[in-house]
Amino acid sequence: MIIFRKQEKFSEPQEIGSRLLELIRTFPAGRTGHDLAVELLIEVGEFEAALADALSPARDTLNPVIQALRSATLCAGEIFHRSWTRGGEGTAGVLDQLKDILGGIMNLRLPSVVCARVAEGYAHYGIFPETYLESARRFHAEMRPETAVCIGIRSIGTSLSAVVAAALKELGCNCRSYTLRPRGHPFKREMFVSPELQRALMEPAAAAYLLIDEGPGLSGSSLGSAAQKISEMGIPDDRIVYFPCWDTDGADFLNKQARARWSRHGKYAASFEDVWIRTGRLDACLPAPIAKDVSAGNWRGVFFSNAEDYPAVHPQHEQRKYVCSEKRFFRSGRGERADGLYLMKFAGLGKYGRSKLARLDSLASSGFAPPALGLKSGFLIMPFVSGRPVSRRDIITTDLLGTMAAYLARLKSDFPAAESSSAEEMMEMMRTNIEEAMGAEWLSKFESIEGLYRTFEAGQAVAVDGRMLPHEWLRTATGFMKTDGLDHHLDQFFPRSQDIAWDIAGACIEFGLDRRQRDFLISRYTKISGDKSITAKLPFYTMAYLSFRLGYACLCADLLGDSGDGRKFRDQARYYSTVLKRLLSLYSCR
């Protein structure tokens, strides 16, 4: 199944470097706000990763530009470390050093364009670099290494390795640091290293080799391939250490080599709860203490009294969410007013969180979302809204349909996007998911629908909602409000930014609208937006939406097995398949 998409964009290095120098100029003299230090770490790390990839297209190597880039990110790691441990004291000199390094890099001969990849851990997965400081301290306390080679697995390992190096340097460990890029199929990664880089890696005698990344993912092959490469250089297994974002026994890795290697090496992973929750650091950022963790589907117990009514959730695909209470007291209920309660949701570190704050402010101004109270440490803070989630079993009123139409028209007018998924990407997703979930016969019917994709090419990209699901609409005392409408056009799943027809198709499918309801929604949307092309585009986007959701439901059902959520995702897959077959039969006969 295809449900994920690449997250990358092409940029000019000079433009990125100028933005970094401007960011440095915003730092207060002699001290840093920690959020600013985090943003600098992320931005410099992404700059290094993008340029290193461009300068090492086939295998990782060493040259003056790559070495200068590594020095820049190590400076950013030191600034970050001092911000977290000393409140920013002593960073002025390091900021000046970083500024000089970046200025020197911009005077070097650079590629005209680089591919900048999104650091997905910082943007979506809630990876906090502070946890890697704690992992480094635990490693040092147990192993007491004199020398370490900190190897960041690009992309996000670029900045995380600088964090680990800064912590070890503070503890008196002599550190060298490099980055490596896993190459090849996502489930069968390999590392390719030039002779000069291999010599540099092997130079420190008796060093510990620390492999630092946000993983492991489904295959475990990125960290596994790095360990394999270091092992091939003659380094004993007990000197190769993993720094992942979470620990696991590795038994479920899809890559056989990664499974075999996982138990051979030491592992150090500190949790978000250890570093932010139990220490009270997160509470100190908030308007009130945390009263309830509503992450990973736990929010359902707040809004639904019967587990049978719970919407299907894949826990790992949800952001961290907490309810905060001024009285440290929280009670589940339906439709009750809860004064003094706040919701905080992870939105992303640095620029990733700020973009979502801006969108929330815009939607809140029209009453479609609650007002933002702030963005702190990557978490959006807003009032907790009491209400009852809409269900497909509810009577779908014209008030709800009218609110949805106005909301979609607002997205169309106020959130245009520069780019969207290509026609080739979308068609590949549809073909793959239809064939794998429904078989070759249905793929043949899809292929027989001539010219269908042309309506896709004519679409205007919009930063869509992407989650027009009934339970994400709350019926409140003042009307309907949309939840979780900030960032699905930015995440790692399809559809990316897309024609607003994606959301209209999603609403029709997810609410099971009959013809009269569908016509009302489209008519009201057209009247508000002036978009008269929507009807012609809906057949393609309805099939595209169904293909994506079918693939997503099948994947989640496989991963979650015979759990309650696994069974609900299987029910969803049957529903999407049934509707898609009906549409394919209809249009393939025309």
Q: What is the DSSP string of 71-100?
A: HHHHHHHHHHHHHHHHTTTT-HHHHHHHHH
Averaged pLDDT for residues 462-473: 96
Give the 3-state secondary structure of 271-321.
CHHHHHHCCCCCHHHCCCCEEEECCCCCCHHHHCCCHHHCCCCCHHHCCCE
Please tell me the distance from the alpha carbon of residue 228 to that of residue 211, in angstroms, as a whole number.
11
Q: pLDDT tier at 30 (50, 70, 90 boundaries)?
A: very low
pLDDT tens column, 470-487: 999 999 989 999 999 999
Give per-residue pLDDT as tens, 107-152. Answer: 988 999 999 888 889 998 899 999 999 999 999 999 999 999 999 9
Ranges assigned E (strand) in 347-478 = 374-376, 379-383, 388-389, 473-476
CATH number of 8-274: 3.40.50
259 near 265, Cβ under 8 Å?
no
pTM (2 decimals)?
0.91
pLDDT of residue 338: 47
Instruction: Write down the H helix ranges in 91-171.
Output: 92-106, 120, 130-143, 157-170
Can you tell me the distance from the alpha carbon of 151 to that of 78, in angstroms, rounded to the nearest whole number? 16
Measure the CA–CA gap between 586 and 449, rounded to whole angstroms. 10
Model confidence at 335: pLDDT above 70: no
Q: According to the model, what pLDDT value does residue 396 have?
A: 94
Whether pLDDT at 340 is above 80: no
pLDDT tens column, 237-253: 999 999 999 989 999 89
525-550 pLDDT per residue, tens: 999 999 999 999 999 999 999 999 99
Mode of pairing for the β-strands spanning 147-153 and 208-212: parallel
Domain with CATH 3.90.1200.10 in the chain: 388-588
Could you tell me which of 466, 551, 452, 548 has the C-alpha nearest to residue 501?
Answer: 466
CATH ID of 388-588, from 3.40.47.10, 3.90.1200.10, 3.10.310.10, 3.40.190.10: 3.90.1200.10
Residue 279 has pLDDT above 70, yes or no: yes
**Where are the domain boundaries for CATH 3.40.50 in the chain?**
8-274
Question: In the predicted model, is pLDDT for residue 327 greater than 60?
Answer: no
- Mean predicted lDDT score pLDDT of the chain: 92
Determine the Cα–Cα distance for residues 577 and 39; give it in Å rounded to an integer.
Answer: 43
Place of tokens 């003042």: 478
Rounded Cα–Cα distance for residues 229 and 222 (Å): 11
Token duo for residue 317: 């695909």
Could you tell me how far CA 485 lies from the centroid of its own chain?
Answer: 15
